[in-house]
Amino acid sequence: MDLKHVVFLIFWCWCILFCIIYVIFGQVSVRKLRKNPITKNSLGLEFVSGWDILNVAFALSCPVWMSEKLNKTPLSFLYADFTVIFPYTTRFDRVLAKIIYCMTGTPILLELATLILEKITGKSRFSFSIDYEKIHDSKKIKKDQKERD
């Protein structure tokens, strides 16, 4: 298998695993928080359907000092309230939240690392793939020339 195919396969496995964990967290944890009248209004603003799942996951995963700082801002209604949600979650809920938090952040960190690598080397990722194809094309050309001779 080619390197591009391996990376593509890893990416899709990552996406499928993330979707499965996201749905499990939404059905198990956030559903009971939505039904509870105490926590119902503290899940944060829902821009699109399912956004509150990410709000709850980030609220349960972020450090406490960050949650306290977010609650003091005028835009605190956008975020889930950690102090209200925490007593109504189990350890399993918090573990799933941390997994979602890490799985969301890792591709962002990989993209930043790629951008830094591009800046250091002076080549874009597109030129890396073009160089890779040129190497294979040049090998094929040399092989064809040997066959003609």
Q: What is the pLDDT of residues 96-147, one digit of tens each?
A: 999 998 888 877 887 888 888 888 877 766 555 555 555 556 666 667 777 7
Flag whether 95 is in a domain. yes
Flag whether 142 is in a domain. no
Answer whether 59's CB lies under 8 Å from 81's CB. Answer: yes
Flag whether 116 is in a domain. no
Comparison of pLDDT for 91 and 136, the residue scoring more: 91
Does 46 score more than 80 pLDDT?
Answer: no
Distance of CA 103 to the CA centre of its chain: 4
For the chain, the domain total comes to 1
Domain that holds residue 92: 3-106
Flag whether 70 is in a domain. yes
Q: What is the pLDDT of residue 76?
A: 78
Answer whether 30's CB lies under 8 Å from 60's CB. Answer: no
Flag whether 30 is in a domain. yes
Flag whether 123 is in a domain. no
Does 61 score more than 80 pLDDT?
Answer: yes
Flag whether 55 is in a domain. yes
Flag whether 130 is in a domain. no
> pTM to 2 decimals?
0.69
Answer whether 89's CB lies under 8 Å from 60's CB. Answer: yes
Alpha carbons 65 and 81: distance in angstroms, whole number: 13
Q: What is the pLDDT of residue 109?
A: 81
